[in-house]
Amino acid sequence: MTANLALAKWSVVDYHRMIAAGILIDRRVELLNGDILEMSPEGPLHKDSGEGLANFLRQRLKDKAWVREVGPITLENSEPEPDIAVVFPPRSRYRDHHPYADEIFWLIEISDSTLSKDLTEKKHIYAQAGIAEYWVVAIKNREIYVFRQPINSDYQYQEKFSTGTLSAAAFPDIVISLDALWSGNIF
């Protein structure tokens, strides 16, 4: 007879208690669907691409939005740390909590070794939470996957781009050149 073993799921409150108690100090982890998972280390291309894109967005968005890099967001059963979160201003509103789904314009994951997870598990988590727009920047493939219009745990609009320009639905006047992004000259 084989026993069915179930892993315990953690709530966001449990996760915050572990952080406050120092249990997760010096661990690069995030809470996804109640599971505490190790985050992948960032290579130089991943870090440079994320910093360049975040700096570009900060310069263009100014006071229209706050651009956060590799910081937690709080969802129902998850507390992921997207590479870039474009959230409602002002920054001071997040002194007592991480951004909630209804305070987020747009999320971006820079994907190197995590493409499969970013296109499946994270996409479903973000859609379920009602995140209006989610991009996955697949830097090795030089492709950007754009997801909009969340319904349940998926997005109605899904498209992949490798050339040309892109804009987020919330900020159509902020145009991103994919050639500049791929060459590292985004800013």
Question: Which domains occur in the chain, in start order?
Answer: 42-183 (3.90.1570.10)
Contact (CB, 8 A) for 131 and 150 = yes
Rounded CA-CA distance 106/85 in Å is 6
Rounded CA-CA distance 147/128 in Å is 13
pLDDT of residue 137: 97
Report the relative pairing of strands 66-69 and 84-87 from DSSP bridges: antiparallel
Which one, of 83, 86, 95, lies nearest residue 63 by Cα? 86
The per-residue pLDDT string of the chain (187 residues; one tens digit each, 9 = 90 and over) reads 566 777 889 999 999 999 999 999 889 999 999 999 999 888 999 999 999 999 999 999 999 999 999 999 999 999 999 999 999 999 999 999 999 999 999 999 999 889 999 999 999 999 999 999 999 999 999 999 999 999 999 999 999 999 999 999 999 999 999 999 998 877 5
pLDDT of residue 1: 55
